[in-house]
Amino acid sequence: MIRQLYRVLGPEGSRPLNRLLVLQCGAAVLQGVAFALLVPVLRALLGPRPDDVWPWLTAFAACALAHALLQGAAIAGGFTVGSRLSRVLHRRMADQALRLPLGWFTAGRTAEFSRLAGQNVIQVMSTPAHLLRPFISSLLTPATLVIATFFFDVRTALVLLVCAPVLFAVQAGSSAVMRRLDLGRDAAIAESADRVLEYTRNQPVLRAFGRTAEGHGALDDALVAEARADRRLIARGLPGLVSFSFATRLVFALLLALGVSWQLDGSLTVPTLLALLVLLVRLIDGVSSAAEAGAGMRIARNTLERLGAVLDEPPFPQPAEPKTPRDASVEFTGVGFRYAEAGGDSVDAPAARPVLNDVTFRLPERSMTALVGPSGAGKTTVAGLLARFRDTTEGTVRIGGVDVREIAADDLTAHVSLVFQDVYLFDGTIEENVRIAAPDADAGALAEAAALCGLDRVIEELPDGWATKVGEGGARLSGGQRQRVSVARALLKDAPILVLDEATAALDQENEALFAKAVRSLADRKTLLVIAHRLSTVVRADQILVLEDGVITERGTHDDLVAAGGTYASFWERRARAHGWRLAAAPS
Ligand SMILES: Nc1ncnc2c1ncn2[C@@H]1O[C@H](COP(=O)(O)OP(=O)(O)OP(=O)(O)O)[C@@H](O)[C@H]1O
Ligand SMILES: [Mg+2]
């Protein structure tokens, strides 16, 4: 547990922790010495010469005072280390979030990450002050007492020396069982917390379909599993707890019997016996609170282990000798890909089905390529591989002739700008959301980006304009407005490669046609990969790639593909029939 604290604190946090441990150990030993001094004090008081008590009493008072001072310093130190712990953990987690491959962030892991960063960091933060101190004193104070007993009665000390390891062994056994049970219960609690979250978050969907009962079903199951884990904890953990308290009672009874018999045969005086019994009560108290503190430490250790596991998760491999892309062309060569987590996070899940198969294409610099295909064909996956959210399973992705794995992360980010299918906005104003891409951009660049995607018209309509608050996740904007904010953000970044994944899906026909024209004009200075279903966008592309079930089945210009009479041609025909009256105007 202490090792884990050192691990999560890292090198910079270890000095204050060292100091804290020294203080806490010192306070615990002094407490033991102070208690031990009670024996001569009692012996003198109850003996024939009560005046002998003064030197002992003075020593006792000095010890008690020193203990109080150290204890005070240890408590203050505990809070200092605690708050440092939370700062360090939050910073390390933020750093780690930045280094982890985006593919790592599945829904479950993201929930775990936020749980760790929130409630668990707070829990760990209180460890040095509230757990470590009682735990250390519950170990060191009894140990000091046992040593001190040697000075007063060697026989008692020897009995204690034999009994103490037995007590600790019983305690360790029961705590190992409890730790395993705690782990199971932690997992069950996490699961029900996730289900509650899912249930609340999905209320609109569940209600729209009148399925609140089903949604409740998963939650019910999780709660039942949690209750079962609770019962298991009590049923299997209880014997350990009971045997520990039984063992302590037994030791006490044994020493009492021995002490009385030694007193009767005259080898132990009554004052010493009384004083030793006082020590014994203190000692058993100490060992029992070790059991309690141990329980808290166990829970904290589980948490620290989970935190450590996330912090030790290998970051995305970065190149040792990064290379710089020569230009803004993109090349996929024989790319195959499967999602590792398709079968869940379990190791023995069946190997995931390949999502992409031998995908080869080239996006020449300053050209526009449209990627089309049915839902689930793997279009978003292609976009993700281009930006190296994940690494390919087979084949290579090159930007400007350089394998993306050999490009430094910053350089790659500077080269590729992405508009995601699922728009995410931060709780802030529209301007803040757009400026994330380039905080230092001047007003002119901002206005230009907004004009290109029609965000300028949205701004005009909103009473607060650029300062409009978007709400959490952009909830206060309409789908189309949100999308335009995210496109403006990508445009402002002004990277040489721009990937638009269904960036116009939420726009109305009129805005979409305007936007399609604007995008086309961008191809004069950027390499564009546009994933789209809308014809007005697709027909303008220099090259169209048709992706079906992870394989590129057709490629060419709009005219080539219509003439070829394949999938694209029938797709085009269906669209033409549906929107016949608009088509004449669209491909202008
Ligand atoms: N994170 C993931 N884990 C596992 N499988 C995934 C993941 N993301 C996508 N898939 C699977 O990969 C396949 C391709 O998904 P992808 O999102 O690339 O399709 P798409 O062509 O973008 O579809 P759409 O047009 O609906 O956006 C699908 O079968 C999908 O189930
Ligand atoms: Mg997609």
Which residues in 364-402 are b (16+ Cβ under 10 Å) and which e?
eebbbbbbbbeeebbbbbbbbbbbbbbebbebbbbbbeb
Write down the pLDDT at residue 7: 79
pLDDT of 197 reads 81
Range 492-496 average pLDDT:
87
Q: Residue 269: which residues within 8 A CB-CB, separation 6 or more?
A: 43, 47, 263
Domains belonging to the chain, first-starting first, are: 2-312 (1.20.1560.10), 330-341+350-583 (3.40.50.300)
pLDDT in tens, 245-302: 888 888 888 888 998 999 899 888 888 888 888 888 888 887 777 777 777 887 888 8
Q: How far is the CA of 390 from the centre of ligand 2 (A)?
A: 15
**Backbone Cα Rg of the chain:** 35
For tokens 């608009």, the residue is: 582
Atom of ligand 1 nearest to the CA of 384: 18
Percent of the chain with pLDDT over 70: 95
Alpha-carbon span 484 to 507, nearest angstrom: 8
Nearest CA-CA partner of 286 in 448, 127, 140, 445: 140
Nearest Cα residue to atom 29 of ligand 1: 376
User: pLDDT tens-digit profile of 560-572?
Assistant: 988 888 888 888 7
Contact 240, 178 (CB under 8 A): yes
φ and ψ of 321, to 5 deg: -125, 85
Residue 54 pLDDT exceeds 60: yes
Q: Does residue 537 carry a pLDDT above 50?
A: yes
CB atoms within 10 A of CB 433: 24
Cα(190) to centroid(ligand 1), Å: 27
C-alpha count within 13 angstroms, C-beta hemisphere, residue 31 = 24
Place 12 in a pLDDT band, splitting at 50, 70 and 90.
confident
Phi and psi torsions of 371, nearest 5°: -110, 115
Q: Which amino acid is at 533?
A: H
What are the CA-CA distances from residue 293 to residues 127, 129, 164, 299, 406 (Å)? Answer: 10, 12, 17, 10, 50
| Mutation pick for ligand 1 pocket among 106, 339, 392, 546 (CB with most ligand atoms within 8 Å) | 339
- pLDDT tens, residue by residue, 324-334: 899 989 999 99
* pLDDT score at 350: 52
Closest CA to ligand 1's atom 2: 339
Q: How far apart are the CA of 531 and the centre of ligand 1, in A? A: 13
Q: Quick one: 2 exposed, middle or buried, by C-beta within 10 A (0-12, 13-18, 19+)?
A: middle
Assess whether pLDDT exceeds 50 at residue 225.
yes
- The CA distance from 20 to 76, in Å, is 9
- For the segment 342-364, the average pLDDT, to the nearest whole number, is 71
381 pLDDT higher than 70:
yes
Q: What would the two tokens of residue 249 be?
A: 């009672």
Q: What is the pLDDT of residues 391-423, one digit of tens each?
A: 888 999 999 999 998 988 888 888 998 887 777
Which pLDDT does position 348 carry in this prediction? 46
On the 0-12 / 13-18 / 19+ scale of CB atoms within 10 A, 439 is exposed
pLDDT tens digits for 26-45?
999 999 899 888 888 888 88
Residue 556 pLDDT greater than 50, yes or no: yes
**In angstroms, rounded to a whole number, what is the distance separating the alpha carbons of residues 169 and 520?**
75
Residues in the 5 Å CB sphere of ion ligand 2: 379-380, 421
Least confident of 7-16, 63-72, 235-244: 7-16
| pLDDT score recorded for residue 171 | 79
Whether residue 351 is predicted with pLDDT greater than 70 in this model: the reply is no
Q: Distance between CA atoms of 191 and 211, rounded to whole angstroms?
A: 21
Q: How confident is the model at residue 442 (pLDDT cuts 50, 70, 90)?
A: confident
- Concatenated DSSP letters of 511-563: HHHHHHHHHHHHTTTSEEEEE-S-HHHHTT-SEEEEEETTEEEEEE-HHHHHH
Ligand index nearest the alpha carbon of residue 372:
1
Residues framing ligand 1 (Cβ under 6 A): 339, 341-342, 355, 373, 375-381, 421
Atom of ligand 1 nearest to the CA of 550: 14
Say how far apart CA 385 and CA 404 lie, in whole Å: 9
Residue 288's CB is within 10 A of a number of other CB atoms, namely 16
**Which of the four pLDDT bands, split at 50, 70 and 90, describes residue 587?**
very low
Residues 431-450, mean pLDDT to the nearest whole number? 86
Burial label for 308, CB within 10 Å (0-12, 13-18, 19+), is middle
Worst-scoring range by mean pLDDT, 100-114, 413-427, 447-461? 100-114
pLDDT band at 366 (very low <50, low <70, confident <90, very high): very high
Average pLDDT, the chain: 84
211 C-alpha to center of ligand 1: Å? 26
pLDDT tens figures, 146-203: 898 888 888 888 888 888 888 878 877 887 888 888 888 888 888 888 888 888 877 7
Residue 342 has pLDDT above 60, yes or no: no
